[in-house]
Amino acid sequence: MTRVTLIPGDGIGPEVTAVMKDVVAATGVKIEWEVQEAGMHVFERVGELVPASVYESIERNRIALKGPITTPIGKGFRSINVALRKKYDLFACVRPVKSIGVVSSKFSNVDLTIFRENTEDLYMGLEEEVSPDEMRSIKVITRANSRRICVAAFEYALLHQRPKVTVVTKANIMKLSDGLFLDVARDVAKDYPTIKLQEILVDNMCMQLVVKPETFDVIVTENLYGDILSDLCAGLVGGLGFVPGANLGKDMAIFEAVHGSAPDIAGKGIANPTALILTSAMMLRHLGHTKEAAWIEEAVDTVYRDPANFTVDLGGSLGSTAIGLKIIQAMDELKGNAYGQKTVG
């Protein structure tokens, strides 16, 4: 049995987390969830968004799954996610973006994965005030950090038999910083002769993604561009409610849905748990449970092929629990087909 730190978060976090746990349990994989509380409700009680006990649990288990956490405005952390990435050197933000059922009316064949460098670029927060009328943000790109994210992207492409890696920069303008990232990608590509390296400027990439997203396989890019492209790509497949995510380091991984805590609908039972359910599949695959991860992903796709199963955010009527049950039922049928008999969830 694997012990995983589980941070339900706040807002809709506890609701979608509960549904996710039921789906994981239905796969038969034994997970011991070590629940740790963090978020606004904790901040209001103890003055900390993330208590020390949360960090201790993550460091003990080396793997965590977290729901959305509200970041207070004007106090506390700039971002909980950024804080965790920096603290544990989670250098790779990995976001698979794939068409699901008939959720998107515009695109039905999107299947790409974004590798976003997670530790530097403008997100380091290095800013200075030159004068009351001039502010500067300092962009930092290093060879070492560029190399490890590029290697991660190419290794993923090799493992998953993807023929192409697209490197996204603005190296025509930022010739030193983005130029370095591009040079590193070119150098890494030499070690993977069976994989094509495609070079695209970020503005052109935005256009290409909304015109022909099906032409892309693996995308590797810097922190800021990766943040923007990740949300753009989510829009191609129905929104952030359908995109899982992982932050990976050398020997630690934190998995998370990329959507917010949506406090306006918390407690109403209508939050869509699909992104966190797909995130749990990423976690299971990371742990070596490839078959069970595929069950979840295939079940989600099967359920969303029927508009009658659409959740409230898609204009349907199914709430959090109902869509979870639909996914479990679909997964049971997949398991039954695999074993020649129907299993009981």
3-state secondary structure of 268: coil
- Copy the structure tokens of residue 273: 């748990």
H or E stretch covering 95? strand 92-98
Q: Single out the catalytic residue among 88, 123, 156, 304.
A: 123
Q: Whole-angstrom Cα distance, residue 297 to residue 282? A: 9
Q: Whole-angstrom Cα distance, residue 59 to residue 288? A: 20
Q: Single out the catalytic residue among 87, 203, 268, 306.
A: 203
Q: Single out the catalytic residue among 66, 170, 326, 335.
A: 170
251 is catalytic: no
H-assigned helices in 112-201: 143-159, 177-189
Buried residues in 24-43 as b, exposed as e (16+ CB within 10 A): bebbebebebeebbbbbbbb
CA nearest 39: which of 63, 16, 68? 68
Q: Which amino acid is at 73?
A: I
Q: Whole-angstrom Cα distance, residue 35 to residue 57? A: 9
Contacts of 272 (CB under 8 A, 6+ apart): 16, 241, 311, 312, 313, 314, 320, 323
22 is catalytic: no
Between the alpha carbon of residue 292 and those of residues 224, 256, 279, 280, 298, the distances in Å are 33, 18, 13, 10, 10
203 is catalytic: yes
Q: Which residues belong to the active site?
A: 123, 170, 203, 227
